[in-house]
């Protein structure tokens, strides 16, 4: 388990782009994270007025952030010199809208481990899959990013 404070020690993301509130399971085989979706999310102002829906791309980003937490567990990683970047996504599916009040259960497991990871993720609300994706993430030297 990781608290919100511990997540900040692992991920470089900060408000308003940190999309993981808590990690409830973390093993070498998978990670399960929680995102509480509230009316206070800035994206609901424009997506969509009168019919608020969490953008699917942010659901995929939440999967990638959970994958970053798992990746840090699985390979040597120094957050001062290394960062993990999103490299691609495949097999993305959105099955049901995510709305204010939903709690996302984000599960990610590795398909390939190394400097370039391939992972699979699912987002569930009340036990039902609302989105899923396979994605690539790569470990890079932070000095080459800026």
Give the residue numbers marked as catalytic.
Answer: 47
142 DSSP 8-state letter: G
Q: What is the DSSP letter of 2?
A: B
| Residue 84 near residue 137 (C-beta atoms within 8 A) | yes
Specify whether the CB–CB gap between 69 and 11 falls below 8 A. yes
- By C-alpha distance, which of 91, 82, 73, 80 is closest to 136? 91
Name the token pair of 29: 């085989």
CA angle 15, 88, 101 (to 5 degrees): 40
């Amino acid at each position: 388990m990781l608290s919100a404070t511990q997540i900040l020690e692992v991920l470089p993301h900060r408000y308003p782009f940190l999309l993981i509130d808590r990690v409830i399971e973390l093993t070498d085989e998978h990670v399960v994270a929680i995102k509480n979706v509230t009316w206070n999310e800035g994206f609901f102002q424009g997506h969509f007025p009168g019919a608020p829906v969490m953008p699917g791309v942010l659901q995929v980003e939440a999967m990638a952030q959970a994958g970053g937490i798992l990746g840090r567990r699985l390979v040597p990683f120094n957050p001062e010199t290394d960062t993990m970047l999103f490299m691609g996504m495949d097999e993305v599916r959105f099955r049901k809208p995510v709305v204010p009040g939903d709690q996302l259960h984000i599960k990610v497991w590795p398909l390939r481990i190394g400097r370039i990871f391939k992972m699979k993720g699912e987002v569930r609300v009340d036990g039902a899959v609302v989105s899923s994706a396979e994605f690539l993430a790569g470990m890079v030297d932070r000095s080459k990013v800026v």
